[in-house]
Chains A and B, each alone.
Chain A
């Protein structure tokens, strides 16, 4: 049985055209994708309803202005979309959305999910100083060859989850040497198959080039191990003070984190506003007290709250005004928590979040 649609044309153009046809044939009423806006061509996620507007869409642009999982949650938090919408997101964005749906912060129904194997994204600052545009051809060369581009977000160079889970359609990018000439849409679900009916193109029997992806995985895994090993240096309170000492308390990391969805973060609440007597006694005891206090408490608290669902997207580090290596810490600690529970966040919508499941027969070794 055919399980892919082959379009003999440049991949990004094909997808753009595919999306246009979806709108024109009213298969979907909206398309959620990255788009260039304004004079200076800033790239942002957009919800598009007119097919002409898709001319400026850049579905696979290597930038993540905001983790799309967070944005999809914003749109569907109070209920699924009443009309079908096609969304084009990166694998870690999809995983973040699934984690949010598990937390009742979003709805899947009526969304057609299109994702791709992902070569990673560049840091946000490359979008403001214009370097991203210059790097684009290098980026796609590396994707075609299945190599790691070193200028990416650190989170991306060390990401082994570059294949999406649960997408209706996956666009084959990594290792596809003919990106400019041929586009392959892999149809993973019935919804995906429905979507490509009446599309121009040829239905073919095709899967990922598994050998190529395996090689790419090995490269990423090696990079991840190197990346994580740097982290072994962070040990104990003194090292935490060194790392987090420069934190200015803007909590931007929490604001952009797709998993941090609390309306009022505990660390912004009145629970952490101390009475004058508390300051007085602390200062008396210690001689000196950092103001505002609780910097490390905040980061460790957030780590405990989101670690199990951290998809390692790197948004937190990218918005940090003082370049704290948050990805390193959150990704490493997050993955080690996830391993204990054999849990890959966002892999499977039916799999419950470990902390809301109870098995009588587990972790007896900890009891012991």
Chain B
């Protein structure tokens, strides 16, 4: 696998769109089950009340009719779903997991952190126009479906979550197969393999790699360049806004310590977070002493420390999926802040979270000859 946002693959298979792209993808998946390329599919289904989506592991092909390969909202980050099925191993069942690119990237990070077993998993991604806020679907399901449908055609991201509007990796190919809808004639779509596993599947399904994917690559590049520019602008604004301790304390002052952001974060996989452990539970004397030292402390104290600590722990693997912000009851722009810091920490190590399975986690590698500029600072 390569390190660039574009895939090294120059050719892809082309499939016609019959009724809709979603239906054609479902046909492809059914075909996969028929040909025993995989035994089950993990894919979002609309919940019975119609107000959300949920990942469902499907063996019964007819259930696939109700699947939404690309739903408007992200209820559970797909990486968490893959981890819940495969954390203790996955011996006999070959599963095709259909997810957004950021969900696949998080899955790859979790694999590096030993929280998933990809042995029998086939990761299938597709070009992502963004994700709408989770509450839009709860409040106005049908309107949200329509708006999202329109957005997938026009590639207009104004209805999407703020962190999706600045996502320059919305077509990043990191899994085994990628479905490309950009740069096509709208009557067909690309299937692009990104691993031997992916190539094998296309071979078994008799889908030859006949067509050049230059047009897709070109469109993706154009798209991500545009988004990257916007991302940098937004991050630079944000940095001005929160770039010192007072502002930082202020932005997190509304935080109520529910830790929803941590609970939904695909990377936060610790069974017991340090910030929920006995380490942060103090005696009454300590609370009083701290209050006396400062005149007043908030209860619970160390709210900003929690966010900074979480940032230190996971920012090298942050895929900017936006789940944290979606789950924050106090509307704190957590995902935007974390994506800004993640970009910087990852750049320092020339690392992109979830880009490639073979790329080791920066904090688990040691090179004698690196980061001299940091040494100099402390010279």
Contact = CB atoms under 8 A, between A and B. Distances in A.
B48 A238 contact: yes
A65 B255 CA distance: 8
A128 B138 contact: no
Contact of B284 (A50, A82, A249, A319): A82
Contact of A49 (B51, B87, B291, B329): B291
Interface stretch (A69-77, A165-173, A224-232, A354-362): A69-77
A76 B138 CA distance: 39
Contacts of B291: 30, 47-49
A128 B330 contact: yes
A52 B295 contact: yes
Given A38-B250, A42-B253, A71 B138 contact: no
Interface string A267-284: 010100111110110011
A319 B300 CA distance: 17
Interface in B250-266: 250, 253-254, 256-260, 263-264
Given A248-B134, A290-B56, A81 B288 contact: yes
Interface string B264-291: 1000000110000010010111011001
B326 to A, nearest CB: 6
B90 interface: yes
B285 A250 contact: no
A288 B67 CA distance: 11
Given A45-B299, A81-B284, A292-B76, A250 B59 contact: no
A250 B47 contact: no
Residue among B49, B93, B329 having the largest count of chain A Cβ atoms under 10 Å? B329
Contact of A276 (B88, B259, B329): B88
A283 B47 contact: no
A44 to B, nearest CB: 5
Nearest to B263: A250
B137 to A, nearest CB: 8
Interface stretch (A2-10, A205-213, A251-259, A335-343): A251-259
A241 interface: yes
Nearest to A249: B76
Contacts of A291: 42, 54-57, 76, 81, 84-85
User: In the complex, which range does the number of interface residues on chain B fall in?
Assistant: 35 or more
A323 interface: yes
Contact of A85 (B47, B55, B288): B288
Interface residues of A, number: 77
B20 interface: no
B59 A287 contact: yes
Contacts of B56: 288-291
B254 A42 contact: yes
A235 B190 CA distance: 47
A50 B296 contact: yes
Contacts of A74: 281, 299-300
A74 to B, nearest CB: 6
B327 interface: yes
Nearest to B327: A321
B272 A245 contact: no
Q: Select the residue from A125, A275, A289 with max chain B CB neighbours within 10 A.
A: A289
B90 A287 contact: no
A48 B283 CA distance: 16
Interface string B80-110: 1100111111111100000000000000000
A273 to B, nearest CB: 6
14 contacts: A48-B295, A49-B295, A128-B254, A129-B331, A238-B48, A245-B52, A246-B49, A248-B76, A248-B264, A273-B87, A275-B89, A283-B58, A291-B42, A319-B329
Given A47-B297, A250-B264, A321-B135, 12 more contacts: A38-B250, A38-B253, A44-B299, A47-B299, A77-B281, A79-B284, A125-B330, A256-B256, A275-B88, A279-B93, A283-B58, A323-B135
Interface of B: 40, 42, 45, 47-49, 51-52, 54-60, 62-63, 75-76, 80-81, 84-93, 134-135, 137-139, 246, 249-250, 253-254, 256-260, 263-264, 271-272, 278, 281, 283-285, 287-288, 291-292, 295-300, 326-331
